[in-house]
Amino acid sequence: MFVRILTVEKQLKNCPVCGGAGLEYQFTIHGRRLMRCVACDVMFAVPFFSSVRYAALQDSFSDGDTSPGNNFSKYPSEGYLSKLQSAGSLTGRRILAEGRGSADLSQLALAQGLEFVCAESGDLNDEPFDACVLLGALGENAHPAEQLSRVHGLLDTDGLLLLSLPTLDSPEAHTQKIHWAHFRTPRVVYFDTHNLAALLVRSGFRDILTWSEPDGIVALCRKTDQAEFDRQPRLSIVLPVYNERRTFEQLINTVLEKDFDGLEREIIIVESNSTDGSRELVKQYESCPDIKVFYEDKPRGKGFAVRNGLERISGDIVLIQDADLEYDVDDYDALLEPILFHRKLFVLGSRHKGNWKMRQFEDRKLLGIMFNFGQVFFTWLFNVVCGTRLKDPFTMYKVFHRECLYSLQLESNRFDLDWEIVIRFIRKGFVPSEIPVNYTSRSFSEGKKVRPLLDPMLWIIALVKFRYGPLYSQHSNKPSKP
């Protein structure tokens, strides 16, 4: 198989990984200019490639054992092998290995009776592989999307991919900044955990798990079923409803009228036994082809209803929508774009537009001041504890790829679910992009349900619990992240 690599001139106009416009110069080191894509945050060297060239499969991989100045991945071969084995028995499996340490890994695997093939040997026949291991090779001296495309084609159905590489969000990269050792190597592309996962999803991989290393990550994922990979993307809108008679019909009709070009849609309504007639209104929409309705016997909180809805989604992209009219449905397009183009897996609709007075209650102005001050304080506290710089982490408009939910077990029942989702996703490496959205706050007389005294206490508990507690359930054999 042969692959045509894009020319430098085109790379200077668009990101070589996601195709997005908007490139920012970062710095020059060892005669190489490093650019950052504004859309996906990938950093890459210019020239990306010095000329148009064609490469056979084995030429697109790096000869990791001889790359000058590149000493990434001192991780023992036993560790890589155990991570592969954690996904299932390797007995009788055929495994492709490439990169620094692949020879040692191959010898260890052969000693255990496993069939390992080193990519450098060129022994790549038509028989598919059950697993592929890329040790520091992705984006080192070849186009990463092309590399993953080739690996996807070589893997058998449900095949495993394990890779290791240096990342921009690693502890050493944060500490050393421009002096990070990997900036002085010939590496072409630099990822962080988020845009790497987005590229893996775009390339047809799922069930992504990552382990942090001092200068990068180890990631394990699985090949997506071809039929699922080829089908049209689907949006799942999760809509919790409780005592929203005044606004529900206008909201649901607006969503139904919204045009989603090139995107399938399903609306998951979770009705929590309202006392104002909302349930009767919801029942009128049961027969709509795009709507699935689920009824709860009693209200257990917005978080419980959202979790109930998330368990029933079938889409690739998830959007959480309240049944009030505080948010503008016309903002869907801007929120969905980064995920549809696989530039990000997690996006927040930020309500901040340079004015701290987010909430203005005409009937209770003092309460509005208190809420706005609380927003500023809790945002500051959240960023300090989580090491982020978000402007509005508690927005209702959360849009994410369902891959973000993989291996997580959400548990919050009230508005603390907003905290739990963002904190858990950040700990998985998915720091969200924030996109400005329209917002019109409603007052308590109009149906606002936040409890001014009790809920802030739950938020602080959630911040400590989900930031420092186990990321995965005790019964899950998954990696933990700091």
Say if CB 329 and CB 399 are below 8 A apart.
no
Beta-strand relationship, 205-213 and 216-223 = antiparallel
pLDDT of residue 345 exceeding 80: yes
Nearest alpha carbon to residue 252 among 303, 291, 299, 295: 291
Q: Is residue 473 part of a domain?
A: no
54 in the same domain as 192: yes
Tokens matching residue 345:
């897996």
Quote the CA–CA distance of 406 and 418 in Å, as a whole number.
Answer: 17
| Residue after which a domain boundary falls, among 209, 228, 247 | 228
The stretch 240-267 carries a mean pLDDT of: 95
Quote the CA–CA distance of 162 and 80 in Å, as a whole number.
Answer: 8
Nearest alpha carbon to residue 343 among 478, 423, 435: 435
Look-up: residue for tokens 């970062």? 26
Q: Is residue 479 part of a domain?
A: no
Percent of the chain with pLDDT over 90: 61
Quote the CA–CA distance of 320 and 308 in Å, as a whole number.
Answer: 12
322 in the same domain as 305: yes
Quote the CA–CA distance of 71 and 65 in Å, as a whole number.
Answer: 9
The stretch 250-279 carries a mean pLDDT of: 95
251 in the same domain as 223: no
415 in the same domain as 394: yes
Q: Is residue 477 part of a domain?
A: no
The stretch 83-94 carries a mean pLDDT of: 81
Quote the CA–CA distance of 134 and 97 in Å, as a whole number.
Answer: 6
Look-up: residue for tokens 């909430």? 359
Quote the CA–CA distance of 306 and 421 in Å, as a whole number.
Answer: 11
Say if CB 79 and CB 217 are below 8 A apart.
no
Quote the CA–CA distance of 10 and 5 in Å, as a whole number.
Answer: 11
| Residue after which a domain boundary falls, among 228, 252, 267 | 228
Those residues with Cβ within 8 angstroms of residue 158's Cβ, 6 or more apart along the chain or in another chain: 222, 223, 225
Those residues with Cβ within 8 angstroms of residue 126's Cβ, 6 or more apart along the chain or in another chain: none
Phi, psi of 460 (to 5 degrees): -65, -40
Per-residue pLDDT band at 165 (split at 50, 70, 90) = very high
452: domain CATH number? 3.90.550.10
Q: Is residue 384 part of a domain?
A: yes
274 in the same domain as 202: no
Quote the CA–CA distance of 407 and 415 in Å, as a whole number.
Answer: 22
| pLDDT tens digits, 422-466 | 999 999 999 999 999 998 875 555 555 566 678 889 999 999 999
Upstream peptide bond of 47 is cis (omega within 30 degrees of 0): yes
Provide the total of helices (H) and of strands (E) in the chain, helices listed first: 15, 19
Those residues with Cβ within 8 angstroms of residue 400's Cβ, 6 or more apart along the chain or in another chain: 317, 318, 339, 345, 346, 347, 425, 430, 432
Q: Which is more confident, 467 or 116?
A: 467
Domain hosting residue 123, numbered range: 3-228
398 in the same domain as 374: yes
310 in the same domain as 271: yes
122 in the same domain as 73: yes
Quote the CA–CA distance of 174 and 169 in Å, as a whole number.
Answer: 6
Radius of gyration from C-alpha coordinates of the chain: 24
Say if CB 124 and CB 96 are below 8 A apart.
yes
276 in the same domain as 150: no
Percent of the chain with pLDDT over 70: 83
Q: Helix or strand or coil: residue 33?
A: strand
| Residue after which a domain boundary falls, among 194, 228, 262 | 228
Q: Is residue 481 part of a domain?
A: no
Those residues with Cβ within 8 angstroms of residue 111's Cβ, 6 or more apart along the chain or in another chain: none
In 341-429, alpha helices (H): 365-386, 416-427
Nearest alpha carbon to residue 450 among 323, 301, 299, 327: 301
103: domain CATH number? 3.40.50.150
212 in the same domain as 142: yes
* Buried-exposed string 71-81: b where 16+ CB fall within 10 A, e elsewhere: ebbebebeebb
What was the pLDDT predicted at 220? 96
Average pLDDT over the chain, rounded to whole?
A: 85
Q: Is residue 301 part of a domain?
A: yes
Per-residue pLDDT band at 478 (split at 50, 70, 90) = low
179 in the same domain as 47: yes
Q: Is residue 180 part of a domain?
A: yes
378 in the same domain as 256: yes
pLDDT of residue 476 exceeding 60: no
Lowest-confidence segment of 44-53, 57-66, 75-84 by average pLDDT: 57-66
Q: DSSP character for 348? A: E
Quote the CA–CA distance of 376 and 353 in Å, as a whole number.
Answer: 13
Beta-strand relationship, 317-320 and 234-241 = parallel
Q: How many domains does the chain have?
A: 2
